A and B are shown apart, each in its own frame.
Chain A
Amino acid sequence: DGGITQSPKYLFRKEGQNVTLSCEQNLNHDAMYWYRQDPGQGLRLIYYSQIVNDFQKGDIAEGYSVSREKKESFPLTVTSAQKNPTAFYLCAASSRGETQYFGPGTRLLVL
């Protein structure tokens, strides 16, 4: 998985609960990304960060939040405002305009 770790592998969320997905990279890449993947669909960008302490919304940012306090870390919080959070979440990292490397993913399920 190219030096990108995601945890946990499976995460269960109760209704009204916020949950945080972890993503860490040791590739020294400036940019990090969060994608959502649903069955039968491609990757949809949630948020990305080009540099520490800065991040931009992707195509489906509503109901999600992120932080980038360290270059190596880009956690994603799925808030209670996200009404359909069940999906496979992928974190990626890259240098600008270069190959994106992906983590192993986190499967989020709603109880």
Chain B
Amino acid sequence: GESVGLHLPTLSVQEGDNSIINCAYSNSASDYFIWYKQESGKGPQFIIDIRSNMDKRQGQRVTVLLNKTVKHLSLQIAATQPGDSAVYFCAEILSGTYKYIFGTGTRLKVLA
């Protein structure tokens, strides 16, 4: 399939290990954040979101951490599986607006 993001930063992890993907956001007024997963040749899929009144949110095998002090967002994937291989990117939103800012993305490679 087509390759999205040939020159993106790459994180390689062993199958079964935990993955941590980081994102620095730009607007201190942003109050809603989303992580997306994009597989090669496909559209981005919603993974998990977090509002600025929280600093942690957990889903199934995924956790998002928000540090507003340093404008940093991270996505943790537990027990990484081959199906997790994809490009992951964050989005920041100012609630009540149509202004969405997307990060460039990180490619996650899962090694068998």
Interface residues of A (CB under 8 A from B): 1-2, 4, 6, 31, 33, 37, 39-43, 45, 48, 50, 88, 90, 94, 96-105, 107
A-B CB pair tally, cutoff 8 Å: 67
Partner of A100, one of B41, B89, B100: B100
CB distance from B105 to the nearest CB of A (A): 6
Interface residues of B (CB under 8 A from A): 2-8, 32, 34, 36, 41-46, 49, 89, 91, 93-98, 100, 102-105
A39 to B49, CA, bound (A): 25
Write the chain B residue with the least CB distance to A30. B98
User: Would A99 and B98 be within 8 Å (CB), given that A1-B43, A39-B6, A40-B5 are in contact?
Assistant: no
Write the chain B residue with the least CB distance to A43. B102
Write the chain A residue with the least CB distance to B34. A99
Q: Is the interface of B mostly helix, strand, loop or mixed?
A: loop
Contacts of A2 in B (CB 8 A): 46
CB distance from B71 to the nearest CB of A (A): 17
Partner of B5, one of A39, A48, A90, A99: A39
Q: Are B95 and A42 in contact (CB under 8 A)?
A: no
Contacts of A97 in B (CB 8 A): 32, 93-98
Q: Are B96 and A96 in contact (CB under 8 A)?
A: yes
A59 to B36, CA, bound (A): 21
